[in-house]
Copies of this chain bind each other. A is one copy, B any other.
Amino acid sequence: MCSRPEPPEPLRRVAVVGGTHGNEMSGVCLARYWLRAPGELQRPSFSAVPVLANPAATAACRRYVDCDLNRAFTSAFLTARAHPDDPYEVTRARELNQLLGPKASGQAFDFVLDLHNTTASMGTCLVAESSHDVFAMHLCHHLQLQSPELPCRVFLYQLPGEESYSVHSVAKSGLGLELGPQPQGVLRADLLARMRALVAAALDFIQLFNQASHTGTAFPAFEMEAYRKVSSVDFPRTETGDLAGTVHPQLQTQGQLASR
């Protein structure tokens, strides 16, 4: 990583999004809290906007109602003519595109932070579109330095030639925070506190960046390890699609421990 963060303009329009998946409770609870008490999202140079991305799925405590909202921000969905039979999440993606985008336009938000949980024991994972999002890469580097004792890996989700589709892809720059393990629909205080601290650290970094862009200070180059998807490995299944195997008991929930 040898480039400097771009764009050099300060980031003024920032959103923190929870409840993109309605049963991932750290982001759901934090978004609800900040909608009542947004002071925690304010910094001297900007005020981040809290957003509850999928209210219907959140009310039902389900990942989604009709289809995965975090796959719905493609140009095909966003530009198609609205129809009464559209899936709920496609309609909601268009609303969020109006609020935070339009995607790939000059009017789009400068930065969107999207909060997720996983049942996997992967600690903290920072989900960026690609290494071309230089601001997100600098933010990841900053977050890793904040808590060097915790696993905090960077995952680049976009495959070569693939269109971006996530909530945070509507903004000029964005990052997903994925914390686990946490059961779906369950709120763990330790992950809630960790998510809250990560968001605070991210907003502090944006403030730092805005100050630096004001004074013309550059952020130093760095190298960073990042992960990409190589392939998917499904569970063994029966002919009818039922599970025919499980994670071995000696491996279950060992991912995080092994990485320390």
Interface set of A (CB-CB < 8 Å, partner B)? 29, 32-33, 36, 62, 119, 181, 183-190, 192-193, 238, 242-243, 246-249, 252
Contact = CB atoms under 8 A, between A and B. Distances in A.
Given A183-B184, A190-B252, 19 more contacts: A29-B243, A36-B238, A62-B62, A119-B183, A119-B186, A183-B183, A183-B186, A184-B184, A187-B246, A188-B246, A188-B247, A188-B249, A188-B252, A189-B246, A189-B248, A189-B249, A190-B249, A192-B246, A193-B249
Contacts of A32: 242
Given A119-B186, A183-B183, A189-B247, A29 B252 contact: no
Main secondary structure of the interface of A (DSSP, over half): loop
> Which has the most chain B C-beta neighbours within 10 Å: A29, A243, A246?
A246
Nearest to A183: B183
A206 to B, nearest CB: 27
A167 B192 CA distance: 36
Contacts of A192: 246
A162 to B, nearest CB: 27
5 closest A-B pairs by CB: A183-B183, A189-B246, A190-B249, A189-B249, A32-B242
A36 to B, nearest CB: 7
17 contacts: A29-B242, A29-B243, A32-B242, A33-B242, A119-B183, A181-B183, A183-B184, A183-B186, A184-B184, A184-B185, A187-B246, A188-B247, A189-B246, A189-B248, A189-B249, A190-B249, A190-B252
Nearest to A185: B184
A160 to B, nearest CB: 32
A242 B32 CA distance: 8
Nearest to A235: B187
A165 B156 CA distance: 50
